């Protein structure tokens, strides 16, 4: 099936990013969230990002044409004629299952259903529907417009036809797909990424190194564009916590259990850029505050 219309639940960083790359690729999008106020915040973010792409000549169309492909709704009704529906909310299994149950009620029989989860089992989400064979994982990375890879995850019941649809969709939106053939906790890339994040936090806990120096080191030595803690602040510490807990609850393996420092920061509401403080502190315009020394 050629994907011409996509319905996305969740207008945060991930959902709005997915909406943007879809619209830039000529796909009609309906972005859904719980309120118009939240949706307009997402649209504002997309418009700014698209404007930057236009300025740099990275897209062939003008901003108005691209933005014209994105509609918003607080209802699930517009999902009825979507070819693909994507859930992109925070890492809470019960909320995600509820969304997939709603998809089942409104989507046309031939529609495909995907989750952008980074850790929760696709098989379990598919079981919330009557068509688990059409459910897959499409794990985009943050920030979506800039990151070039997407994991295409097969659940136990996912058919090869559904996986192939996912592969072609990812290519259509300008990304490179990676197949994940087994529905394991953290899938493929985060099974590499999460342990380094956990170890970095523990080194800060133990006073071995600072947030600033660890980030500087991984950027200069490993060639990463953003440090581990800079990335954590952008994604949201609560999102990292939720993903790690999902892995822990799935496997009961203590290596996935969130470090105490992360747990405390989440409990304190220090969630990153969106709250003005996480691993770093931020000004009102989102820029990082310079740390005072001495």
- What digits encode the pLDDT tens for the residues 265-285? 999 999 999 999 999 999 988
Q: Is residue 283 part of a domain?
A: no
* Per-residue confidence (pLDDT) for residue 286, from 0 to 100: 86
Q: Is 133 a catalytic residue?
A: no
Q: Is residue 67 part of a domain?
A: yes
Section 39-54 average pLDDT: 97
Q: Is 35 a catalytic residue?
A: no
| Catalytic choice (11, 49, 157, 190) | 190
Tokens of 272: 């990153």
Q: Is 238 a catalytic residue?
A: no
Tokens of 158: 């996912």
pLDDT digits (tens, 9 = 90+) for 100-113: 999 999 999 999 99
| Catalytic choice (28, 151, 250, 270) | 151
Percent pLDDT > 90 in the chain is 94
Q: Is 11 a catalytic residue?
A: no
pLDDT digits (tens, 9 = 90+) for 196-216: 999 999 999 999 999 999 999
Q: Domain total for the chain?
A: 2
Query: Domain check: are 106 and 198 in the same one?
Result: no
What distance in Å separates the CA atoms of residue 72 and residue 64, rounded to the nearest whole number? Answer: 16
| Catalytic choice (139, 142, 238, 270) | 139
Domain that holds residue 66: 5-180
| Catalytic choice (16, 25, 116, 118) | 118
1, pLDDT greater than 90: no
Spatial CA neighbour of 154 closest among 143, 141, 169, 165: 165
Q: Is residue 25 classed as helix, strand or coil in its secondary structure?
A: coil
Query: Domain check: are 102 and 215 in the same one?
Result: no
* Per-residue confidence (pLDDT) for residue 119, from 0 to 100: 87
Query: Domain check: are 61 and 29 in the same one?
Result: yes
DSSP 72-124: EESSSGGGGG-SEEEE---S-HHHHHHHHHHHHHHS-TT-EEEE--SSS-HHH
Query: Domain check: are 67 and 108 in the same one?
Result: yes
Q: Is residue 280 part of a domain?
A: no
294, pLDDT greater than 60: no
């Amino acid at each position: 099936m050629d994907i011409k219309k996509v319905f996305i639940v969740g207008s945060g960083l991930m959902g709005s990013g997915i909406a943007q790359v879809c619209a830039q690729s000529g796909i009609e999008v309906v972005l859904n969230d719980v309120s118009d106020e939240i949706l307009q915040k997402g649209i504002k973010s997309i418009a700014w990002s698209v404007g930057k792409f236009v300025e740099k000549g990275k897209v062939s169309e003008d901003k108005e044409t691209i933005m014209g492909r994105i509609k918003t709704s607080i209802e699930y009704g517009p999902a009825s004629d979507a070819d693909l529906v994507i859930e992109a909310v925070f890492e809470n299994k019960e909320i995600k299952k509820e969304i997939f149950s709603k998809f089942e009620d409104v989507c046309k029989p031939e529609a495909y259903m995907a989750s952008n989860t980074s850790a929760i089992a696709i098989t379990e989400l598919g079981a919330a529907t009557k068509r688990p064979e059409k459910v897959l994982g499409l794990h985009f990375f943050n920030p979506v417009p800039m990151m070039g890879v997407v994991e295409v995850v097969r659940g136990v019941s996912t058919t090869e036809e559904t996986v192939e649809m996912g592969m072609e969709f990812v290519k259509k939106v300008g990304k490179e797909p990676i197949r994940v053939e087994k529905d394991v906790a953290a899938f493929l890339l985060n099974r590499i990424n999460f342990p380094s994040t956990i170890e970095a936090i523990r080194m800060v806990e133990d006073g071995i190194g600072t947030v600033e120096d660890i980030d500087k080191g991984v950027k200069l030595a490993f060639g990463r564009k953003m440090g581990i803690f800079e990335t954590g602040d952008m994604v949201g510490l609560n999102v990292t916590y939720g993903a790690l807990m999902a892995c822990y609850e799935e496997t009961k393996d203590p290596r996935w259990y969130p470090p105490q420092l992360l747990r405390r920061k989440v409990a304190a509401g220090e969630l990153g850029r969106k709250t003005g403080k996480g691993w770093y502190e931020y000004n009102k315009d989102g820029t990082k505050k310079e740390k005072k020394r001495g």
